[in-house]
Structure formats: structure tokens, C-alpha cells
Amino acid sequence: MAEARPKRDFTDLAPWIYTITLFALWEAASRGLSLPVYILPAPSVVAQSIVDYWPAIWKNSLQTLYTTLVGFALAVAGGLALGLLVGWSRFIYKGLYPLMIGFNAVPKVAVVPILVIWFGIGTVPAILTAFLIAFFPIVVNVATGLATIEPEMEDVLRALGAKKLDIMLKVGIPRSMPYFFGSLKIAITLAFVGSVISETVAANSGLGHMMLAAQSQFNVPLVFAGLVMLAIEGIVMYALMAWLEMRMTGWAHRSGMNRQ
Amino acid sequence: MTNPSAVPMVGIENVDMRYGGAEGTLAVSGLTMAVKKGEFAAVVGPSGCGKSTLMKLVTGLYIPQTGTVSVAGERVTEPVSIVGMAFQNPTMLPWRTTLDNILLPLEIVEKHRGRIRTHRKEYAEKAEHLLETVGLKGFGSKYPWQLSGGMQQRASLCRALIHEPDLLMLDEPFGALDAFTREELWCVIRDLHFSTDVTVVLVTHDLREAVFLADRIFVMSARPGKIITEREVHFPRPRDLEIMFEAEFTDVVHDLRGHIATARAQQAEAV
Ligand SMILES: Nc1ncnc2c1ncn2[C@@H]1O[C@H](COP(=O)(O)OP(=O)(O)OP(=O)(O)O)[C@@H](O)[C@H]1O
Ligand SMILES: [Mg+2]
């Protein structure tokens, strides 16, 4: 869409303006109030810490990104499959619904000890925690997309002799795709939550582990450095998912399907 | 076997249809009607009397508890694919272009689904031709959400017609349109019916629409619906929109209005 822009629009710059302002205020506050570095280190101190500890930070960032992405990939595959299954039949939906609610209600941090008993400390529990926490929104969204097919559309097809599979393939699955891609943004964010929780509780590497170790040594700038790296990874992955959503199901935005 | 031309295109005999089990809503009761081959039939009646139910019975989406429904002499026990349907809501799929939406029935109907891949070009040409007849020439590549409501409704008519159904079922397809677009589409349907031997059943709230288009008008009672009056309309074809201003036309409309008023009054008494 080529819109005529008569004068320079600052809206595109707004995210940068706000971010820079936030860091500037933070810097000013910690200097002006001369807060001790173990309470709130200034951004400049945190940046210095990132430089100083870069090899460790880089290694642990990659580890966290790896466990998160593997868990996320499993959640996408599993969530899509279960979502389609749940949306397919009311019987499966009715039967699984309470189970899924109960499962989702359990705080995932409580599951980590069990995962450690089964798989030991390390990468596997982190991947599985990320998977468990990211899985649910995908299932719910895919199932919702399937369950909200307009009855009239179904009638048009059924009257032509369409079988359940036809309706799913022609209407249900394409229709649930915007819901699916929309849920990826939430799922990737949650996957980070899952992997970091698990790394904090039971791991020898990853940003969660690094931050816990830094905290026990009162290395507060390094704790914040870990936070910043998590934020960066989270934003990048979120942006990637948002881009993917736009690419794959732009029609849903333009047609206003999700705005109803 | 009797004379085939005597077999009605749509035959409904003594049909009861109840939704949702024994305690559910009795939508139609003792419904009996027949529509001849090639005829244009209209069904009018008070809101909620079971007109849409009637459509779904004929297309085989629902099977009645008692009585029989037959299409082209065959008893309806499952959806019949010789029927094309269009509703008040155009229900186009937003991720398909208008052309692909129109081709959708061909991907379903048994007769065509094996051929659509290999003969796509030929079918697309047919769809383009249909688009032209409804005044949407060149809009096939647009997405439905790029079309106005009236244009979407025209496209949904094309979709109902693409597999050359013998029977076209229209459930208030013009209800949501403005008066001018509606009259334009009346003419489209009129010409379509005139130039082919398709049988049409049109459900409508608009009595003028019914009288202008139909050869035969069925008036339904309030729920549970049954046919209380059936009348033939003898204006010669092809009909011009001008006939709506003739006294004879107005008389028929008034007469129908009277029947519906009575049906609604009886409903009010019953409540
Ligand atoms: N799927 C359904 N389940 C239960 N009851 C239904 C269902 N569909 C329709 N009904 C009931 O059957 C009756 C007839 O409905 P129907 O949709 O056939 O009416 P209608 O004549 O088409 O009404 P309108 O003119 O408002 O479109 C109504 O009382 C309605 O509540
Ligand atoms: Mg209706």
C-alpha cells in the first residue's frame, strides 16, 4: 500500500525514541541518586559487563536460544497436531478439554523436578519445560479456528456432498492458520519463560543458570546483562514470528477476519 | 413409472421436522409442496416459520422425522449435489480469490473433483463467463473482501451455479442489499432462469420480489410451518421491472400480504 506521506512521520521512530529515553532515564537515575551497583547498575555498567563477560554470555545465550527453539519447535508440531485433532471432533474436544485445562493450570516450574528425576539436570528438562509451556496456546488457537467455521459455509459444502475431511481441508485448516500463526508470538515468548525457569532450577548452562550463578557472587551487573540478552533474544524471535504471521496470513488482516 | 415430466423437481410430502430431539423445536409440521421442473418457486412466510429449514430439508442437510422429501423423483436421504445454494450471507472464503471461491464446489462435487486439476483452464473460463453474466467481469482475481456486499452476493450466485445444478436454492440472497442492487440482481436471476432450464426455489421476505420473479408462490404459516396458500403468477415472461407498477401486480402483492398478516395474527393468538 503506497500512502502519500506529506511530512516526515515520527511514528516509525517512536520505539527507538522510547527505548533510548528509558535507558537515559535509568542511567540518569542510577548516577543522580548514586545507587550502589548491587541494587541497580546503570546501563553503562551493564554494557561494560556484557563486554567483559562476552564469551560466557555468548555461550549461555546460544544455549538458551537452542533449548527455547527446540522446545518451541516441538510445541508447534505437537500443538498443531493436537489442535487439529481437538477441532476435528466434538467427542475428542469434550474429553480432552478438562484435561488440558488442568494441565495448563499446573505451574510449569513445579514440573521441572519431575523432569530432572527422569532426564537429569541439563538441556532436556529445559527443552521440555519450554515445550510444555508453549504448547497450550497453540492448541487452543488452532482448535478455535476450526471450531468457528461459519455454519452456513459448512452447509454450502455439505450440500454438495462434502465429507468432514473436505470441509477440514478446504475451510477448517486454512481458516485456523491466522489463529495458529498468531499464537506463535505468544508461544515463543512463553518458550523463553519455560527454558529460563528450568535453567534457573536445574542446569549447568544457559542464561538462567548464568544469572543465578552471578547472583550468588553478587555480580549484579552480570545478572542485568543476562536480562538484557534475554530481552534481545525475545524481541528478535517475537519480531520473526510477527513477520511470519504477516507473510503467511496477511489476508486475515486485510480482510478483517480477526477483527470481528 | 409415470410420465417423467409429471415427476416434480421438488416434492415434499407431509413432512415434520423437529430440531434437537423429542422435546426440541418443531420447525415445520405437515409440510406438503411440489415444484415442477423448470419452475421458479418462491416461498414467503413470517419470520421463524421454517423457511430456511425447508431449504435444508430439500438439500438433504437435514432428514425429516416423518414424511418424505424428494428431488427429481429420488428420495432425499443424504445431501444431493445437483443442488446449488446461496444464502443471505455470501460466505466467501477470504483466502481465496473470487474465481477460486467460485470454483470451490467443483473441488467437492463427485462429478468434477477428479477433473478440476487437469481441466482447470476450461472451468476457469466457465467461471469467468458466469462472472460476466452477473456483471462482475474482470473481478475474478480480486479477493472477496475487496468486493462490495452486492458484488460478493453476485459472486456467491456464481458459486451456486458453477456445477450447473438442476435446482437452485436461494435463501434470502438479496436481503442485505440496497434497493437498486437488489432490482439489478432480480434481473440477473430472471435472465438466468429464462435462458436455462434450471428450477429455482427462492425464500424471501420481499413480496414484490416473489411476485416479480416467481411462477408459483407458497405462503407458509407461522411455526410450525406448513403451506397455507399456493398461488400461481401468470405474468408473461420475460418480465420487465415496469410490471411492478401495474395494478394487477399490486393486487397479487396485496393478496399475499393479507395471507401473511393472517398467519401472523394466528401466531399472536396462539402465544
Ligand atoms: N439448528 C437449529 N437448532 C434448533 N432450532 C432451530 C435450528 N434452526 C432453526 N431452528 C428453529 O426452527 C424454527 C424455524 O427456523 P428457520 O430458520 O427455518 O426459520 P425461517 O423461516 O428461515 O426464519 P427467518 O425468516 O427469520 O430466516 C425457528 O423457531 C428456529 O428457532
Ligand atoms: Mg431463514
Asked if residue B68 has pLDDT above 70, the reply is yes
- Report the SS3 class of residue A253: helix
Q: What residues in B contact A254, CB-CB < 8 Å?
A: 143, 145
Asked if A152 lies within 8 A of B91 by C-beta distance, the reply is: yes
Tell me which ligand sits closest to the C-alpha of residue B51.
1
pLDDT of residue B159: 93
pLDDT of residue A259: 42
> Which of A154, A155, A160, A170 best probes binding to B when mutated, by most B CB atoms within 10 angstroms?
A160
Residue-wise pLDDT tens digits, B74-128: 999 988 888 888 888 888 999 999 999 999 999 988 888 888 888 889 999 999 9
Hey, what's the cell of A250? 496477511
CA A32 to ligand 2 center in whole angstroms? 71
pLDDT of residue A5: 55
Residue A162 to residues B76, B98, B189: CA-CA distances in angstroms? 16, 20, 26
Tell me which residue in B61, B81, B95 faces A155 most closely, judged by beta carbons: B61
User: How far is Cα A56 from Cα A207, in angstroms, rounded to an integer?
Assistant: 9
Please give, rounded to a whole number of angstroms, the shortest distance from the CA of B118 to a CA of chain A: 19
Tell me which residue in B79, B143, B145 faces A160 most closely, judged by beta carbons: B79
Hey, what's the cell of B30? 405437515
Residue B222 falls in which region: left (phi positive, over 0), alpha (psi -120 to 50) or beta: beta
The best mutation among B18, B26, B44, B53 to test binding of ligand 1, ranked by most ligand atoms within 8 Å of the C-beta, falls on B53
Within a 10 A sphere around the Cβ of A95, how many other Cβ atoms? 11
Atom of ligand 1 nearest to the CA of B28: 14
Tell me which residue in A155, A159, A171 faces B93 most closely, judged by beta carbons: A171
- B48 CB under 6 A from ligand 1? yes
pLDDT of residue A260: 40
Among all residues of chain A, which has the CA nearest to that of B146?
A255
Tell me which residue in B56, B83, B145 faces A254 most closely, judged by beta carbons: B145
Rg (CA), chain A: 23
User: How far is Cα A177 from Cα A187, in angstroms, rounded to an integer?
Assistant: 15
CA angle A97, A102, A106 (to 5 degrees): 145
Please give, rounded to a whole number of angstroms, the shortest distance from the CA of A251 to a CA of chain B: 6
Q: What is the block-wise mean pLDDT of chain A (260 residues), using blocks of 10 residues?
A: 60 89 92 86 93 94 96 96 87 86 87 91 92 92 86 88 89 91 94 94 90 92 94 95 89 65
Within a 10 A sphere around the Cβ of B84, how many other Cβ atoms? 27
- B25 CB under 6 A from ligand 1? yes
> By the 8 A CB rule, do A157 and A148 touch?
no
User: How far is Cα B135 from Cα B187, in angstroms, rounded to an integer?
Assistant: 11
Q: Which helix (H) or strand (E) holds A14?
A: helix A14-32
Residue A101 falls in which region: left (phi positive, over 0), alpha (psi -120 to 50) or beta: alpha
CA B48 to ligand 2 center in whole angstroms? 7
CA B176 to ligand 2 center in whole angstroms? 13
Of A185 and B266, more confident: A185
Residue-wise pLDDT tens digits, B156-198: 999 999 988 999 999 998 887 888 888 988 998 999 899 888 9
Angle at which helices B179-195 and B120-133 cross, to 10°: 120
Q: What residues in B contact A249, CB-CB < 8 Å?
A: 95
Average pLDDT, chain B: 89
pLDDT of residue B1: 45
Q: Of all residues in chain B, what percent carry a pLDDT higher than 70?
A: 97
User: How far is Cα A185 from Cα A181, in angstroms, rounded to an integer?
Assistant: 7
B17 forms bridges with which residues in the sheet?
Answer: B28
Residue-wise pLDDT tens digits, B206-251: 999 999 999 999 999 988 888 999 999 999 988 999 999 999 999 9
> Which of B89, B93, B112, B147 best probes binding to A when mutated, by most A CB atoms within 10 angstroms?
B93
Asked if A159 lies within 8 A of B109 by C-beta distance, the reply is: no
User: How far is Cα B54 from Cα B50, in angstroms, rounded to an integer?
Assistant: 6
Q: What residues in A contact B83, CB-CB < 8 Å?
A: 159-160
Residue nearest to atom 12 of ligand 1 (CA): B27
Q: Which helix (H) or strand (E) holds B250?
A: helix B247-270
Cell 422425522 maps to which residue?
B65
Please give, rounded to a whole number of angstroms, the shortest distance from the CA of B161 to a CA of chain A: 12
